[in-house]
């Protein structure tokens, strides 16, 4: 059973456009929702994260939108750049503390000039 469903699997966006990646989760006990960015040959790195007490969090060109009632959250990349080309993973974790993250299957983003 896949606890975090991520879409699309791949995405091609023009430079300057908006990239949108969506995730849906099942477990209402999840209370921490990060997005990780992974470049080829590297390990994933935390990009931005949100908790369910807010509906949106913005850091530079990256925004997480969170819909608790729909059990969905999404990553928006504004003014997408070729350097944003990477694989993006959403994740979720239940309970507070350091319980393991559950990851989505990833979205490969390509930003073309």
Partner 1 sequence: NAGVTQTPKFRILKIGQSMTLQCAQDMNHNYMYWYRQDPGMGLKLIYYSVGAGITDKGEVPNGYNVSRSTTEDFPLRLELAAPSQTSVYFCASSYRDEQFFGPGTRLTVL
User: Using CB under 8 A as the criterion, which residues of the chain lie in contact with partner 1 when the complex forms?
Assistant: 6, 9, 32, 34, 41-46, 49, 89, 98, 100-106
Could you give the CA distance from residue 80 to residue 74 in angstroms, rounded to a whole number? 15
DSSP character for 56? E
Nearest to 90 by CA among 50, 39, 55: 50
Nearest distance from C-beta of residue 33 to partner 1, angstroms: 10
Would you say 2 or 55 has its CB closer to partner 1? 2
CA atoms within 13 A on the CB side of 65: 11
Nearest distance from C-beta of residue 18 to partner 1, angstroms: 24
Nearest distance from C-beta of residue 88 to partner 1, angstroms: 11
Nearest distance from C-beta of residue 20 to partner 1, angstroms: 19
Would you say 69 or 98 has its CB closer to partner 1? 98
Reduced to 3 states (helix: H, G, I; strand: E, B; else coil), residue 17 is coil
Would you say 41 or 69 has its CB closer to partner 1? 41
How many residues are recorded in the chain? Answer: 113
């Amino acid at each position: 059973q896949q606890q975090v469903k991520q879409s699309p699997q791949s995405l091609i966006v023009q430079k300057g456009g908006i990239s949108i990646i969506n995730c849906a989760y099942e477990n209402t006990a999840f209370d921490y929702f990060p997005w990780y960015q992974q470049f080829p040959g590297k390990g994933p790195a935390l990009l931005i994260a949100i908790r369910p007490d807010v509906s949106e969090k913005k850091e530079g060109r990256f925004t997480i939108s969170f819909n608790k009632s729909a059990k969905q959250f999404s990553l928006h990349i504004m003014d997408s750049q070729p350097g944003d080309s990477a694989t993006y993973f959403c994740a979720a974790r239940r309970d507070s503390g350091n319980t393991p993250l559950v990851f989505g299957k990833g979205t490969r983003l390509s930003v073309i000039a």
